[in-house]
A and B are shown apart, each in its own frame.
Chain A
Amino acid sequence: MTLSHPNRLVAPLALAATLALGAAHAFTLEEFTFEDPARTDEFKDLVGELRCLVCQNESLAGSQASVAQDLRKEVYRMMQEGKSRDEVVEFLVARYGDFVLYEPPIKPSTYILWFGPFLFFGLGGFMLLRAIQRKKAEPEQELSQAERERLQQLLAKTDRND
């Protein structure tokens, strides 16, 4: 039994080592540094807001796809050259379309996307208001004499059943 102890230790260590090595091979943002730390932050913000086209639910910052690495390098190169954030975005949109932006620009083809929710919200509110007003306009219905007697009878019956 004592022999198994070293093994128990070795396995997690081996696993940890494998994982660490694996991580070293993965792409990270650490390789992209600027002399001005503000530019580094700007770079990180920017790639976080751009979408990877291969794995569409990932940002350019988080994607492991090789195309994403190429694009990170390109963004880095442009920023090293002193290009502004808008210039980089314009460059990518001209090649890959609005799809690279997580936040699509407001233009006729995206009006329904941007304003649709408000439209539906307004429509719902309007219908709700109308329903409330109609309810208010309706007079309370008085019970007739026959109905009142029947109500009394039913109530009396349930009392007895209890």
Chain B
Amino acid sequence: MNTSASRALIPLGIFLALAGLLFYGLKLDPREIPSPLIDKPAPDFTLESLKDPSQTLTKEVLLGKVSLVNVWASWCPSCRQEHAELMRIARQNQGVQFLGFNWKDTRPEALQMLQQFGDPYTTILYDPDNRSGIDWGVYGAPETFIVDPQGIIRHKHVGPIDARVWEQEIRPIVEQYQAKKS
């Protein structure tokens, strides 16, 4: 090949590579911050149950089953948006423990929302003043953690869960750790 012609193609090549890189960057979501807690044991906590203030919940509740720890609040619009989807997933996946993590909310408002839209959770932790939220590295709602039966955090999803996120992102990981257990 003519060397001067192939030389002239170099700037074009560089341009295409740069354009490709920037185009890829457009699709990244800057709000998705990787959690340093992945593959680490879930942080210890001592929190009241949302439904029963006399009941104290600790890390023990995470053991023995794959859990989805779903951070939510009644003031959070995206949480309402994902609520119906969570109801459906919880109904169809009895083997998964749905642990609600009620975050920076008030008890009456949280309970009212569950009364109105249904309750997908097996148990709900109540963290009104972000005591445990900081330990979990929560910075917004909704966020969802997948915790394996040994209490180790395996995945974190930021933002609402919809059918696509459940099928493509969360379900494969849940099944992977369910299979390991048996």
Binding site for B on A (CB under 8 A): 53-54, 56, 66-67, 70-71, 74, 93-99
Contact = CB atoms under 8 A, between A and B. Distances in A.
Interface residues of B, number: 18
A96 B140 contact: no
B77 interface: no
Contact of A96 (B31, B129, B139): B139
Main SS at interface, chain A = helix
A66 B104 contact: yes
Interface string B19-60: 000000000001101111100000000000000000000000
Nearest to B37: A95
B140 A67 contact: yes
A104 B155 CA distance: 23
A96 to B, nearest CB: 5
Contact of B134 (A54, A74, A97): A74
Given A53-B139, A66-B104, A96 B130 contact: no
Contacts of B134: 70-71, 74, 95
A71 B140 CA distance: 13
A96 B135 contact: no
A56 B32 CA distance: 11
**Residue from the set A54, A71, A96 with the largest chain B CB neighbour count within 10 Å:** A96
B166 interface: no
